């Protein structure tokens, strides 16, 4: 098997007998014609997967939950597993942190501190707010669990309507996406954690953003294409809403992009999973895949 860095190799610890580990970033020549498990780099996109063309690969184990762009780059016949179970907690932490930062105007206080200015202001709370979670998979449920102590009024929306039992939260009635427009006007905070797909592209376009309550906060920890960038800039500039986003249609966000100067916007650079929680969790997932494949069992998290 191959992993992209010495650090990840070290995190894996001692491997079972018969498992040979090589370091390969998919940019240099392949170390073998047959590789049972390939772990591509965490950053840099899916284009590197074209390096697998002509190789015999048993499994590609991605390091992200999302896998947009993988189908276009991955050679036919190679199974791909995403990193479900690795980033949910860290991404949920960031989502809650962004809500608190935006509601309590922490960026304003940081700028005042830089100026040496004492600048008190009456801010919005997270407590008692009506929060609408759009997306209720692993990240959405992790956000719900972390919001429970904050005394919010929680509503969830997903592609499939259902009733779900969430540890630490209780039973949640999950609405279908067809109910989103009816639920939006009442929400004070809307959190997006859906994956990118044809069906979710520009889910929040100008028309849907206009359905949000004036001054509501839109938080995106899913994927950038969920939101129409031009519509977001227009709504922020019109002081119609607020936003906090970790993901964008164009990444890295280029210098001079209108979002950098848009009012009422908190930007983080796609760092939902980039925390100290990642390294031990991705190592555990890879070890699990090794054990399953050695036992003749199918890998987990296969998405294509």
State pLDDT tens for residues 50-83. Answer: 999 999 999 999 999 999 899 999 999 999 999 9
How far apart, in Å, are the Cα atoms of 173 and each of 156, 157, 170, 181? 7, 9, 10, 17
Alpha helices in the chain (DSSP H): 6-12, 70-73, 88-103, 106-114, 138-147, 180-183, 206-211, 229-237, 278-294
Confidence of residue 44 (pLDDT cuts 50, 70, 90): confident
Q: CA-CA distances (angstroms) from residue 267 to 135, 188, 234, 248?
A: 21, 19, 16, 9
Query: 196 Cβ partners below 8 Å, 6+ apart?
Result: 66, 68, 222, 223, 224, 225, 226
- What's the pLDDT band for 47 if we cut at 50, 70, 90? very high
The answer on pLDDT for 158 being more than 90 is yes
Strand positions, DSSP E, the chain? 2-3, 22-23, 34-38, 56-61, 80-81, 130-134, 153-158, 162-166, 170-176, 189-192, 217-220, 242-245, 265-267
In the three-class reduction of DSSP (H, G, I as helix; E, B as strand; rest coil), residue 165 is classed as strand
- What would the pLDDT profile of 262-278 be if each residue is shown by its tens digit? 999 999 999 999 999 99
Rounded to whole angstroms, how far apart are CA atoms 229 and 204? 9
Across all residues in the chain, what is the average pLDDT?
97
For position 279, what pLDDT does the model report? 95
pTM of this structure: 0.95
CA distance 290 to 211: 48
Residue 243 confidence (pLDDT) above 90: yes
The whole-number pLDDT of residue 175 equals: 98
User: What burial letters (b/e) apply to 56-85, b meaning 16+ CB within 10 Å?
Assistant: ebebbbbbbbbbeebeebbeeebebbbbbb
Q: What is the pLDDT of residue 167?
A: 92
Q: How far is CA 48 from CA 42, 44, 74, 225, 232, in A?
A: 11, 8, 9, 22, 31
Q: What percent of the chain shows pLDDT beyond 90?
A: 99
d(CA 89, CA 83): 12
Tell me whether strands 217-220 and 189-192 are parallel, antiparallel or unpaired: parallel
- With cut-offs at 50, 70 and 90, classify the pLDDT of residue 298: very high
Structure confidence at residue 83 (pLDDT): 98
Question: Would you list the DSSP string of 99-114?
Answer: HHHHHTTHHHHHHHHH
pLDDT at 127: 98
Residue 302 is given by DSSP the state: B
Is residue 235 within 8 Å of residue 211, measured between CB atoms?
A: no
User: Which residue matches tokens 């296969």?
Assistant: 302
pLDDT the model gives residue 45: 86
User: What's the pLDDT tens digit per position in 111-126?
Assistant: 999 999 999 999 999 9
Helix axes 88-103, 106-114, angle to 10 degrees: 70
Strand 153-158 relative to strand 162-166, pairing: unpaired
Which of helix, strand or coil describes residue 140?
Answer: helix
């Amino acid at each position: 098997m191959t992993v992209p860095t010495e650090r990840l190799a070290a995190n894996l610890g001692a491997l079972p007998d018969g498992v040979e580990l090589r370091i390969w970033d998919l940019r240099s020549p392949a170390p073998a014609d047959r590789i049972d498990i390939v772990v591509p780099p965490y950053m840099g996109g899916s284009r590197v997967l074209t390096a697998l063309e002509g190789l015999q690969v048993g499994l590609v184990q991605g390091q992200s939950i999302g896998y947009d762009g993988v189908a276009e780059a991955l050679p036919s016949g190679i199974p791909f597993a995403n990193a479900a179970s690795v980033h949910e907690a860290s991404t949920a932490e960031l989502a809650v942190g962004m809500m608190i930062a935006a509601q309590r105007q922490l960026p304003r206080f940081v700028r005042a501190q830089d100026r040496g200015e004492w600048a008190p202001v009456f801010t919005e709370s997270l407590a008692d707010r009506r929060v609408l979670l759009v997306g209720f998979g692993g990240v959405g449920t992790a956000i719900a669990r972390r919001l429970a102590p904050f005394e919010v009024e929680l509503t969830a929306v997903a592609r499939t309507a259902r009733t779900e039992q969430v540890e630490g939260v209780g039973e949640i009635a999950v609405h279908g996406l067809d109910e989103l427009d009816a639920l939006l006007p009442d929400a004070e905070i809307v959190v997006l954690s859906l994956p990118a797909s044809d069906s979710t592209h520009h889910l929040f376009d100008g028309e849907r953003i206009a359905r949000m309550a004036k001054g509501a906060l839109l938080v995106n920890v899913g994927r950038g294409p969920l939101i129409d960038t031009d519509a977001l800039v227009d709504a922020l500039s019109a002081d119609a809403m607020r936003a906090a986003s970790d993901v964008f249609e164009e990444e890295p966000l280029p210098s001079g992009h209108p979002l950098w100067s848009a009012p009422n916007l908190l930007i983080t650079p796609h760092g939902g999973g980039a925390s100290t929680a990642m390294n031990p969790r991705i190592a555990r997932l890879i070890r699990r895949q090794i054990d399953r494949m050695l036992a003749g069992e199918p890998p987990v998290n296969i998405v294509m």
